[in-house]
Structure 1
């Protein structure tokens, strides 16, 4: 039995991250149309004006969990432990102003000085779990050995733990400065999959922030990783298993990105290979093409050289949406939304489905992109196929279930 969620604390503030129009809110994850009771609409407008949550914590919780609003928590002072798993590397982080630092040596060839040493290699999941068991504080920072926290990094993360529902908060991962940046360095600064962008959110599969990497996390010390993930993917598995994970970009941790071509490509293949094992724990969450069925049908019509059919499909979708939202909004969602979804369709073709897409002349248009972006896509997609062969699953290669507009009342 799932216990009811506790209200958002009364001293929090809230920032709406969806469209508010009279008595409706449109947005969130999954995408939804929320009809507001007069009292709810009044509360939301008061919160938008800067008032605290007060006794509206139940409404605030519903909005936050749906990614319709983002919490603004008050500061929190607390002692934290830091756990750094490492193998054959001296951690980059130095002089961390925290209560406790535990370095876990995952059976390095040469023992790491002053570290808790594992006799056999277990991977990052096992090493982090060993550190979590030893940590003496309720809140524990998990830092990879190739990361360096930036000034002011801890306070924004800590604040979210004023909410008793929060178990994991992730900072923004930014590139570590290098003396001579090259093309790959610049590309990683713009397109690294570790950087989840400038806007905070609840982490939701297929959401604006669908996952956060384990390079840096602040967690409650009861959190544990699945130690069967010995070759990556344990971080995504954890955040999809945890009911409430937040991404907080105001906190920044620098990461030593791989920028040597061979290592960079190998890392992209590695990321792709993890999808299959994650899918065995979370079926349906690691699939491509999470768009509306109308969008999928329209692009399928275009690929088969039926542009008039594609236009008719979008017109029908617009008419159906117009029954629930103003016509202008319906046009924006159905037509403009489908055009913006073109990148999602192209990414599915050039990443997960690239061996098949190469066989179709029109689908090859998805490969018209910069050489580095194309190499990125093909390497990741190759990893997905290799992982599927290894774990004997097709789940990460199947199209995601299309989203449908959800209707709610609050």
Structure 2
């Protein structure tokens, strides 16, 4: 079947104007001002008038097999289901382990990625976790990245956090070098996802690796950079030096009241300070544990990250903080895809048909296609997950 979306305002994520978009199979076939097909027997026609057509969202950090456990075994968070992503415009997810790499395993992570792919989503994951020496599915980072299609890099490695292993620059450099080489050998980027805690060392370790080795700074992808204003300023310096930073959209009222910035606010602030829009991203940290610690790192509360927060942060950036639509879209489509080395996040001829229709008035999700397969149509679930 072919699908033709007529008269939508297309953001690719850059604005293309009002266009018709034709796709079939998994690919976009044409983007034109007016596409007329003379035989409509095998055509799904969608009226895009009044809608904004954008790339499917790329969520660069999701704990899709669950995470956590900082409040004991009962606090291990549940896994993600397909519609947690698709109802919120997300067509690509990247999974990772976090604090718990004992009861959570890479076998589970890769199996879940394969399951989500079977259900129609684009799903990838990282090898490793918060801790070094690194744990892998096979016996090495190199084999995981080179021979497991879903594995695209390493992460999330924890720095500046009391839950991490307090790693050295040499340890991080060795992991990064292996990831980079394995990526080169397999046509992947081998990005190293970095969990940044609230410690005073901030991003010092990343700068040290870049300054004392041949490894480029843009191998690192630090997240949670909106944790506090001091870390955000360190993030701006990291961007000036050539890096990319990520803001976490899942948060708690307690954290926002105690210094954390909303991801949308952090995005707007960095753009105002002159950071290039290509260096900023947002991710949900969906289904991660959100432990709430006091000033002495005592656990005083616990919540769970939500994939829906990515859509809400995008809406907030545009509607509340006046971030231009193109730049807000870049942060959740093209930019994370680029830093992770994924051919996603753009509307273009011969590109993957990962497409979202948003309502103009409130930027809510109306319809979603992943690799040309309709997942949500007119706000109704079409493709259900096995358990969703």
TM-score band w.r.t. shorter chain: under 0.3
Larger Rg: 1
- The structure with the greater share of residues assigned to strand is 2
TM-score (norm 2): 0.25
Identify the structure with the greater helix proportion.
1
Where relative contact order (Cα < 8 A, 6+ residues apart) is larger, the structure is: 2
